[in-house]
Structure 1
Amino acid sequence: MTRVLLTGASGFVGAAVQARLLDDPGYAVRSVYRRLPLSPFAGLEVCQVQGLEPHNDWQPALEGVDVIIHCAARVHVMDEREADPLEAFRHVNVRGTLRLAEQAAESGVRRFIYLSSIKVNGEGTVPGHPFSADDLPAPADPYGISKLEAEQALLKLAAEMQMEVVIIRPVLVYGPGVKANFRSMMAWLNRGAPLPLGTITNKRSLVALDNLVDLIVTCIHHPCAANQVFLVSDDEDLSTSELLRRMARALGQPARLLPLPMWLLSVFAQILGKKAVSQRLCESLQVDIKKTKTLLEWTPVISVDGALEKTAKDFLEH
């Protein structure tokens, strides 16, 4: 039996990883929580750690652990209030992560799987020229910089110690329970609201939660995953307009998309102070997952339409 320590178990991705591992008798799962759950899942061992801090003592949580899946992080903050955002991200994502990894290596943990971000590669691509796992990183914001620095520190540690490191950089993750902009788009479509997004011809890679979780679990044992960086997506890129049409179909609603010219949409977004949202809706971000599929003999386990149907069903039920 493989003993797994999971951080970030209460988050969107971490909770899905936990559920998947608990369904498999080949794994014993110990999950880290800042606040202990009132009623833990059957078969789950839990431990309490007060945040991802550089001074944490992880030794009690690491006892007997074979593999760590590290999903905890200070995530991208839309309404940043820190005076020095980069320092705030480094404190948690770099120094806090390295503290865990160093103690894990000293405890004999075999493999450390790190959930990073496509923001390490950059903010966008030219259509037809996707990011690859071996591209020169070009993070543009404090969150992306902190994730890159954590990756570099982990790979350096792997070169010095016996512990293997696996780095996974997901694109936008969606699935049952998704929040933020993705959920907002579903809400607008479900209301039948007209959206001025009918002529967007960008290309964006997305990854369904089921596909990301399956790749993470694949990396627990696959010998070719050691000390590698992987990008992950659904392997089908969509324009924002096409995504909205298919999302509406999954919701059982018509897609009322108005053919507003992109330049006019950009002007309105700037006037309304929503330039960043406009960029995410209109610009491209594609990834090439050939390395992931070839090296790990992995393919996505669910299609975009299948994942959208699951996401829409959960949205409508809740």
Structure 2
Amino acid sequence: MKIIITGATGFVGSNLSKYLEDKGNIVGKLSLRNPEFTLNKNADVIIHLAGKAHDTANTSADDEYFKVNRDLTIKLFDEFLNSEIKDFIFFSSVKATADTIEGILHENHPSDPKTPYGKSKFEAENYLFSKQLRENKRLFIIRPCMIHGPGNKGNLNLLYQMIRKGLPWPLAAFENKRSFLSIDNLSFLVSEIIEKKSLPSGVYNFADDQAISTNQLVNLISAGLGKKTKMWTLPKSIILALSKGGDVLKLPLNTERLSKLTDNYVVSNEKIKKALNIESLPLTTEEGIIKTLKSFKK
């Protein structure tokens, strides 16, 4: 199968490209940096990964998100509509639906994004769904939660480095549950979507099967490093005050990053598993995280 991937040089794109190539597909890489990009219409699938990632330091201008995440998506999708390419897979985000969630996030949750990142993804989704598809075409909106894997430089890496240096975990007072998504499980699901031609168009959440707490994550990292877990149960009021100060002073701990580390955010993956008729994903949450952590040692 001939597959075009945008954002193929990024963390997700490079891993997904290799996975699909190993399965015997021909993967073409399309850069959208040139506004006059040309879409190779001799393909079967477009996987649109390119986008402006959420900036937890909040230093990016709002219009940058809309130019990249909404406007480029619209342009690429219009090209798709005027081609014989069968499938368009757009990687949106759970943040296109909600920045905070009570209970478990399902695909039918009312969307009310609060950040420019979430709003730009949601506006792109709305445009895609506003267009009529020809009978032989499919559109998939993928909403992944926090993605990790070997080569990832995100919050897991920061947490790992902190514990490796012997620093205590100061947020043990916060008990939470969060969903993660290993790059292996993401790649598996994308491949299954492409292969299953009877799968209908729609919105699908991507997440690992189990949610875990940040405290559990700290324990996993400590065990992997052969270190004793150091937990500090500081008063929440002090931590919240420090994070608000971080917003003003542009410090590493701000309210945005505190939310990512301590809030509940559980995402259901039941819809995609039911649609694909699978009981569980290849890696458990713990197996996926351990694989990511082992890569940091290298």
Shift of residue 157 of structure 1? Answer: 2.5
User: Counterpart in 1 of 2:53?
Assistant: 75
* 1:172 partner letter: M
1:297 to 256, 277, 293: 277
User: Counterpart in 2 of 1:20?
Assistant: 19
* 2:19 partner letter: R
Matched, 1:120 2:74: no
Identity level (%): 27
User: Counterpart in 1 of 2:178?
Assistant: 204
Residues 56 and 256, structure 2, Cα contact 8 Å, conserved in 1: no
Deviation string, structure 1 residues 209-242 (Cα, Å, up to 9, x no partner): 1111111111112235332111111121112111
Shift of residue 82 of structure 1? Answer: 5.2
Residues 224 and 296, structure 1, Cα contact 8 Å, conserved in 2: no
User: Counterpart in 1 of 2:86?
Assistant: 110
User: Counterpart in 1 of 2:73?
Assistant: 97
Residues 143 and 205, structure 2, Cα contact 8 Å, conserved in 1: yes
Alpha carbons of 1:224 and 1:141: their partners in 2 closer, same or farther (altered >3 Å)? farther
* 1:15 partner letter: S
Deviation string, structure 1 residues 240-290 (Cα, Å, up to 9, x no partner): 111211222233332211122323322232234322222222211111221
1:243 to 217, 224, 230: 217
CA distance in 2 between partners of 1:269 and 1:79 (Å): 12
User: Counterpart in 1 of 2:296?
Assistant: 315
1:276 to 256, 271, 288: 256
CA RMSD of aligned residues (A): 1.9
Shift of residue 195 of structure 1? Answer: 1.6
User: Counterpart in 2 of 1:43?
Assistant: none
In the TM superposition, 1:212-251 aligns within 5 A as 212-251=186-225
User: Counterpart in 1 of 2:251?
Assistant: none
In the TM superposition, 1:172-211 aligns within 5 A as 172-211=146-185
| Runs of 5+ consecutive residues of structure 2 not aligned to the other structure | 248-253
Q: TM-score, normalised by structure 1?
A: 0.85
CA distance in 2 between partners of 1:176 and 1:193 (Å): 23
* 1:202 partner letter: N
CA distance in 1 between partners of 2:218 and 2:199 (Å): 34
- Deviation larger for 190-199 or 72-81: 72-81
Shift of residue 78 of structure 1? Answer: 3.2
Shift of residue 163 of structure 1? Answer: 2.6
Matched, 1:254 2:228: yes
Alpha carbons of 1:172 and 1:123: their partners in 2 closer, same or farther (altered >3 Å)? same
* 1:286 partner letter: V
In the TM superposition, 1:5-154 aligns within 5 A as 5-25=4-24, 27-33=25-31, 49-51=32-34, 53=35, 56-59=36-39, 62-81=40-59, 83=61, 85=62, 87-126=63-102, 129-154=103-128
Matched, 1:170 2:153: no
Shift of residue 199 of structure 1? Answer: 2.6
User: Counterpart in 1 of 2:3?
Assistant: 4
Alpha carbons of 1:68 and 1:246: their partners in 2 closer, same or farther (altered >3 Å)? same
- Deviation larger for 148-157 or 160-169: 160-169
Q: TM-score, normalised by structure 2?
A: 0.91
- Deviation larger for 255-264 or 13-22: 255-264
CA distance in 2 between partners of 1:153 and 1:202 (Å): 35
Alpha carbons of 1:270 and 1:73: their partners in 2 closer, same or farther (altered >3 Å)? same
Shift of residue 158 of structure 1? Answer: 4.5
* 1:187 partner letter: Q
RCO greater where, 1 or 2, for CA within 8 Å and sep 6 or more? 2
